[in-house]
A and B are shown apart, each in its own frame.
Chain A
Amino acid sequence: MGIRLRTKGTSYGVKLPENKLTQESPIEPIPLPQKVIIPLHQNIGAPCQALVKKGQKVLAGQKIGDSERFVNAPVHATISGEISAITTVINPPTGQPVAAFVITSDGADRWVELEPPEEPEALSVKEILGKIRGAGLVGLGGATIPTHVKLSPPEGKKIDTVILNGCECEPYITSDHRVMLEYGEKILSGLNIIRKVLSPHNIYIAIEDNKPDAIDHLEKLILAMGFKEDFKIVPLKSQYPMGAEKTLLNTLLGREVPIGGLPLDVGVVIHNISTTKAIHDAVFEGKPLVERVVTVTGAVKNPKNLLVRLGTPLRNLIDYCGGIDGKADEVILGGPMMGISQPDLDFPVTKGTGCVLVKESSPIRERDCISCGRCLKACPMHLMPTMLAKYAKAGRYDDCKKFYIDNCFECGTCAYVCPANIPIVQYTKIAKSELIKRAATR
């Protein structure tokens, strides 16, 4: 058996126009910004406590926020300079306002002393996890789960399979694709660290077959670096939302994560390509997470893949790419399917920002459901989306629960295939937040 397995696919989901405008564009560092904005809460866990004060000088890579809580990742200064203000921004993962440091650059880009370990191979699991947490790593695919948490399965949960997620199934986004082509060695080294921590039986690298160059490249590297059949590459049919954890592990392994559960409940841990590269940086180079690759695409003059210091305002990225092209009026963080509209261009790039998509907003011309059933066929969670939308519209949120609304991860496939243009995801989002509100008041 070779290291490349047979291509797998699923009947659920939908084939989308790819619009990968930037797949041939090498990663390009953007000039350092005059100021960065660093929110103190950039993960799905607890917010950080401030470690520095206004007026204080900081170095790039210096830890400026941390917490005692386990589910948390610290934040670092990403340029050298002075803490010039403390402001408030809206944290995309939670929608809550959080405090943020504004650092004004001194232009010198002075760094803290990085402390790469002398013998990285000899580190214990505990030391590795310490370094990963210390570097502030979170899932860079957008979920922003602290990486050390995902690498610490609870007592009694045996992880037998690790999947490296290089699907990048959303249209437009190419940041993971470029990272695979340009940082392949670091990805495999990071994956080797994950193997050491979790010691799974199987390790798969899942890549959609619209990126044959990445598949070939990683296959060659696996052989060149001597990992042989320890790491197996699984090409996947390009079909949205293949890269969603639950869809991916179902396609690969035929397992289903219980409703409300996590992949680790069925013995699987899934890490994103860029996260795995950052694991290598953290463990081998002692480098904290201060930059990431962001695809800037859509209606900008020159779409690019940029290497960006976290905290850089979105405006800088768009300007660097030649500005907005035409009459586009909407900026989306993430892809066109699951991304969130961001009206404020002074908002910073955060750990979960893989893509900045500029586009023309489209008015919704919603018509009535004709019960064609296309959304049922497409839903990767095997839900009945139109029923959820109907009940949500009528305010019957308890009925939404009977149709398993909690299983929905808002991929938007249903709304995409709907011939009546019903914004089904918006309705389910409203129903979910209403259900949360109700649960809180009870």
Chain B
Amino acid sequence: MYIVVLALMFPTIAGIYLFGYRTLLVMAVSIAVAVLTEYGVKKLRKRPFVMDGSAILTGLLLALTLPPTIPLWMVATGSVFSIAIVKEAFGGLGHNIFNPALGGRAFMMVSFPAEMTSWVLPRGFVTDAVTTATPLAEGFVWQLDRLELYKAMLLGNIGGSIGETSALLILIGGLLLIALRIIDWRIPLAYIATVALFTFALGQDAIFHVLAGGLMLGAFFMATDYVTSPITPKGRIIFGVGAGLLTVVIRLFGGLPEGVAFSILMMNAVTPLIDRHIKVKPYGLKKEG
């Protein structure tokens, strides 16, 4: 768990650098409330509280998906929901069906739609915020050429959630986790490749769609959550492809500008089904017929 938190430091530090000190406060509130909630719920359930790092991870992940200007009491509400409802109500770590951080974010999306979709331009440590639209939103305008846009999206010099804007730094953290064999490469690869191919097939800018929104963070850090993703290699590819298709469908045909969170949550829901039916071929199984 702590290695994943460490890998998240790349996008985290990028977020602080781009959006200023206030983001640190958002993260601190999210993490502290997550850990306290876990402690409280474990006491209520009369179960031992283990500092296994999972609440810290959930708190940090949730914070990274939030707009930099989000009011802190909303952050706290989302964090409580993540831990108490999405995780502990289902039986705690290992038994939760949905990714806790994404569940919390989804809850905040429907509860605070205005605050959850107001964005600012990265200004670093300057305090006056300039509102903007994210690249995926309808009001987004880009004056310079395409290449400059890709560069801005790679480095994170663009409006968006705290930890989602710099595709490059997320990629570094994600590749680190793959190299350390903490996460399986299958889910992020299947997920991102599906988004690229599907948007390309629909005549869209595939590079733009891969770099935009929460896809990178979702593919490397959310969809790869052990508990809520399939256990078999084949199941993990199905999971990635399914999440990719849903993301593109929501982005291009749905009512929301971004679909990463909801597509992963939907695939979380079918994960038990995938695990029940996609089996590994055991040693010595005779071919049928």
Interface residues of A (CB under 8 A from B): 246, 250, 256-259, 261, 367-373, 376, 380-384, 386-387, 403-404, 407, 420
Contact = CB atoms under 8 A, between A and B. Distances in A.
Given A368-B93, A370-B94, A373-B184, A404 B227 contact: no
A373 to B, nearest CB: 5
Contacts of A259: 282-286
Given A367-B94, A387-B275, A404 B232 contact: no
Contacts of A258: 284-286
Contacts of A376: 231-232, 280
Contacts of A381: 282-284
A382 B281 CA distance: 7
Contacts of A372: 226
B30 interface: no
Contacts of A367: 50, 93-94
A158 B93 CA distance: 53
Contacts of B226: 370-373
B229 interface: yes
Contacts of A384: 231-232, 279-280
Given A370-B226, A370-B227, A376-B232, A382 B93 contact: no
13 contacts: A258-B285, A259-B286, A261-B284, A367-B50, A367-B93, A370-B226, A381-B283, A382-B281, A382-B282, A382-B283, A383-B282, A386-B231, A404-B285
Given A382-B281, A387-B275, A407-B284, A368 B95 contact: yes
A250 B283 contact: yes
Contacts of B95: 368
Nearest to A368: B94
Contacts of A404: 282, 285
B94 A382 contact: no
A407 B281 CA distance: 11
Interface residues of B, number: 21
Interface of B: 50, 91-95, 184, 226-227, 229, 231-232, 275, 279-286
B284 A368 contact: no
A382 B184 CA distance: 18
B276 to A, nearest CB: 9
Most buried by A among B92, B93, B280, B285: B280
A373 B283 contact: no
A371 B184 CA distance: 12
A381 B280 CA distance: 10
Most buried by A among B231, B282, B286: B282
Contacts of A420: 94
A259 B227 CA distance: 30
A371 to B, nearest CB: 5
A409 to B, nearest CB: 10
A370 B54 CA distance: 11
A407 B283 contact: yes
Contacts of A386: 231
A387 B227 CA distance: 13
Nearest to A257: B284
Contacts of B283: 246, 250, 256-257, 259, 380-383, 407
A197 B92 CA distance: 60
Contacts of A257: 283-284
A373 B93 CA distance: 15
Contacts of A380: 283
A247 to B, nearest CB: 9
A258 B227 CA distance: 32
A256 B284 contact: yes
A370 B231 contact: no
Contacts of B91: 368
Contacts of B285: 258-259, 404
Most buried by A among B50, B91, B94, B229: B94
A373 B94 contact: no
B280 A383 contact: yes
Q: Which 9 residue pairs of A and B lie closest in terms of their CB atoms, listed nearest first?
A: A368-B94, A404-B282, A372-B226, A381-B283, A259-B284, A256-B284, A382-B283, A373-B231, A370-B226
